[in-house]
Amino acid sequence: MRVAVYYRISTKDKQSFDSQKIAVESWLSKEKITPQYVIEDKESGSTESRTGYRRLIDLSLRKKIDAVVCYKLDRFGRNARSVIKRIIEIEDMGVRFVAMETPGLNTLDYHLPFRMMFLSAFASLAEMERDALRDRVRSGLNAARRRGVKLGRPTKATTKNKKMVVELRKKNYSIRAISKQLKISPVTIQKLLKS
């Protein structure tokens, strides 16, 4: 059986694939399956433009694989309509879909009677969870703004940096050389020189 394993994390810095990999590799070992493809994405599950996801769908639609295995349904995607549509689309091509930690979707047998009900319910829950998380983040940012917290990256257009830029420019340093030395973008350097 030709299997593609799909892993996804949302952020590049704070998460790793480790917990997903341990669980999926254990499941594959029990099923005596060696995957032909291991595909990873470090992007939000709310979009279908993920590089790995697009590759996975392409492999499925071209019948290059017999099954897709992922850790949980929300790793495949977080938009309920899109997730359901894609899973039906690949299963119509004869490609099985397994979300090993999602009840009803954790088997290679995709002819289970309540499978579609489970798929709809869990996809909707994943979407609700994404929306709730987005609302919590938005509320937290708004609360921080009300407390006077400055959000975003600190500016490099400071008086201290302006003095250093002007001094280096007087010594005939190019903007590119100044940018490299001070680790300030060329655009910011030009703004500092004009101000």
pLDDT the model gives residue 126? 65
Q: Determine, yes or no, domain membership for 144.
A: no
Q: Determine, yes or no, domain membership for 93.
A: yes
Q: How far is CA 72 from CA 62, 78, 150, 175, in A?
A: 24, 11, 37, 49
Residues 90, 172 share a domain: no
Residues 165, 98 share a domain: no
Residues 16, 109 share a domain: yes
Q: Mean pLDDT across the chain, nearest whole number?
A: 85
Would you put residue 104 in left (φ > 0), alpha (ψ -120 to 50) or beta? Answer: left
Pairing verdict, β 3-9 and 67-70 = parallel
Residues 164, 127 share a domain: no
Domain that holds residue 172: 159-194
Residues 95, 27 share a domain: yes
* DSSP secondary structure string for all residues of 162-176: HHHHHHHHHTT--HH
pLDDT the model gives residue 136? 83
Q: How far is CA 92 from CA 69, 81, 117, in A?
A: 16, 16, 17
Nearest to 103 by CA among 122, 79, 120: 122
pLDDT the model gives residue 113? 63
pLDDT the model gives residue 116? 66
Nearest to 99 by CA among 30, 33, 7, 166: 7
Q: Determine, yes or no, domain membership for 57.
A: yes
Residues 114, 69 share a domain: yes
pLDDT the model gives residue 109? 74
**Sequential pLDDT tens for the chain (195 residues):** 999 999 999 875 567 888 899 999 999 999 999 999 999 999 888 888 899 999 999 999 999 999 999 999 889 887 777 888 888 888 888 898 998 887 777 777 766 666 667 667 766 766 777 677 778 888 888 888 888 888 877 777 788 888 888 888 888 888 888 888 888 888 888 888 887
Residues 32, 95 share a domain: yes
Residues 163, 130 share a domain: no
pLDDT the model gives residue 7? 94
Q: How many angstroms separate the CA atoms of 56 and 151, rounded? A: 37
Any alpha helices (H) in the chain, and if so which ranges? 18-30, 51-61, 73-76, 80-92, 115-146, 159-170, 175-182, 186-194
Residue that finishes a domain, picked among 134, 151, 169: 134
Count of domains observed in the chain: 2
Q: Determine, yes or no, domain membership for 152.
A: no
pLDDT the model gives residue 41? 93
Strand partners, 7: 40
Residues 168, 126 share a domain: no
Q: How many angstroms separate the CA atoms of 8 and 20, rounded? A: 9
**Domain of residue 24, CATH code:** 3.40.50.1390
Residues 99, 11 share a domain: yes
